[in-house]
């Protein structure tokens, strides 16, 4: 029996030993992380350096991309270490740090998507009043509140978990999971369970209300509006809806598999689906938003063309 007074590490038991294939898995995972970092960082830089993109919609996108970098950094470095390790252990402080990073990532993502849906509702339903109802300053305030709220909420969760007496250290997951850590407790967990259910409601269902409200109003305007209004709604809302549904599916499966018996699901499929919302979302969003939003796409093309031309001139001058 191991209690938290002597607990120094957790053991992650879901990893499959694949022999020399671990090096291939390591290379693929490292490449995914590099692509995520480059894609999200590039769009953050594009939005920050172009004053024409300092609008609420692009500020919310910038917050989304920063959060995806943050969440990926909470997962990938640990994942890369574990792939090359024979014994899949993680020090207890690092485990709680990973829980903090991944939980705040999920909270910020849902809240950010909820505020983005409200922003699209104002842009489509009140186009003439949009610039007064949603200013850049208001968008920055929304973003600050989202991040602060998420940090405080998860800090409360961790403070409740750290006080628990743990009678085990084996976590049946690829990464540290708050619910699975609480399951290891042999002390009273009523407060943790209550706050866990309350936190789930805050994380999922509270953002769901502005999302449903916004899209009900947008649909009403689309059905009664002009063809141009419908085209604007489709072009601006499609990436958001795809991102929302994709992220909700990934989080829903992870919650389901951590709470219910999953012995009937092949282990490889469980691994893929448990990582889905932490990998696919940061990979997909930069590509989807970058291609779908014409203004962002055109500025990216212009900057890339400028760099290529500048590089060509430099090479020509060196050769001369």
Please tell me which residue, 129 or 272, carries the higher pLDDT value: 129
Q: Name the token pair of 238.
A: 């499609």
Size of the chain, expressed as the number of residues it contains: 320
User: Residue 307: is its pLDDT beyond 90?
Assistant: no
pLDDT score recorded for residue 65: 94
Please tell me which residue, 256 or 51, carries the higher pLDDT value: 51
The span from the CA of 218 to the CA of 190, in Å, is 42
Confidence class for position 110, pLDDT limits 50, 70, 90: very high
For 132, 139, 195, 304, the CA distances from 295, given in Å and listed in that order, are 21, 19, 43, 14
- For the domain 9-315, what is the CATH code? 1.20.1070.10
Confidence class for position 77, pLDDT limits 50, 70, 90: very high
Per DSSP, the residues of 219-285 read HHHHHHS-HHHHHHHHHHHHHHHHHHHHHHHHHHHHHHHHHS--TTS-HHHHHHHHHHHHHHHHHHH
User: Residue 124: is its pLDDT beyond 60?
Assistant: yes
The span from the CA of 219 to the CA of 210, in Å, is 14
Give the number of other CB atoms < 10 A from CB of residue 266: 9
Average pLDDT for the chain: 83
The span from the CA of 265 to the CA of 273, in Å, is 11
User: Residue 5: is its pLDDT beyond 50?
Assistant: no
Cβ proximity of 120 and 236 under 8 Å: yes
pLDDT score recorded for residue 3: 43
* Average pLDDT, integer, range 223-245: 78
Cβ proximity of 257 and 275 under 8 Å: no
User: Residue 308: is its pLDDT beyond 60?
Assistant: no
Q: Which of 73-77, 96-100, 259-263 has the lowest mean pLDDT?
A: 259-263
Q: Name the token pair of 17.
A: 């030993």
Tens digits of residue pLDDT in 13-40: 878 776 778 888 899 999 999 999 998 9
Q: Give the HSE-up count for residue 60: Cα atoms under 13 Å, Cβ half-sphere.
A: 21
Q: Note the pTM of the prediction, 2 decimals.
A: 0.87
**Residue extents of the structural domains in the chain:** 9-315
For 22, 154, 245, 266, the CA distances from 258, given in Å and listed in that order, are 25, 18, 20, 15
Beta sheet of 170-171, edge-to-edge order: 89-91, 9-12, 170-171
Phi/psi at 91 (nearest 5 deg)? -60, 145
> Which residue(s) pair with 89 in the sheet?
11
Candidates 213, 272, 293, 268; CA nearest to 43 is 293
């Amino acid at each position: 029996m191991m209690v938290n007074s002597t607990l120094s590490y957790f053991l992650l038991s879901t990893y499959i030993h694949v022999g020399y294939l671990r090096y291939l898995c390591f290379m693929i995972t490292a490449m995914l992380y590099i692509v995520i970092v480059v894609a999200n960082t590039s769009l953050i830089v594009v939005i920050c350096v172009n004053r024409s993109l300092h609008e609420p919609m692009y500020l919310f996108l910038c917050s989304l991309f920063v959060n995806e970098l943050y969440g990926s950094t909470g997962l990938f470095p640990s994942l890369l270490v574990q792939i090359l390790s024979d014994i899949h252990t993680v020090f207890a402080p690092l485990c709680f740090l990973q829980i903090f990073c991944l939980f705040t990532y999920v909270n910020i993502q849902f809240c950010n998507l909820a505020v983005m849906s409200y922003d699209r509702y104002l842009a489509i339903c009140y186009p003439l009043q949009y610039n007064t109802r949603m200013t850049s300053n208001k968008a920055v305030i929304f973003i600050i509140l989202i991040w602060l709220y998420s940090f405080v909420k998860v800090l409360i969760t961790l403070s409740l978990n750290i006080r628990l007496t743990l009678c085990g250290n084996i976590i049946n997951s690829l990464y540290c999971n708050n619910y699975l850590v609480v399951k290891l407790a042999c002390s009273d967990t009523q407060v943790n369970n209550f706050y866990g259910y309350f936190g789930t409601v805050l994380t999922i269902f509270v953002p769901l209300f502005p999302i449903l409200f916004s899209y009900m109003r947008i649909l009403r305007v689309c059905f009664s509006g002009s063809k141009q209004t419908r085209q604007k709604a489709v072009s601006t809302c499609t990436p958001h809806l795809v991102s929302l549904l994709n992220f909700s599916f990934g989080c829903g499966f992870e919650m389901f598999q951590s709470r219910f018996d999953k012995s009937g699901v092949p282990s490889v499929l469980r691994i893929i689906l448990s990582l889905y919302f932490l990998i696919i979302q940061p990979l997909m969003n930069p590509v989807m938003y970058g291609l779908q939003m014409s203004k962002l796409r055109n500025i990216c093309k212009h900057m890339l063309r400028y760099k290529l031309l500048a590089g060509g001139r430099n090479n020509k001058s060196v050769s001369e």
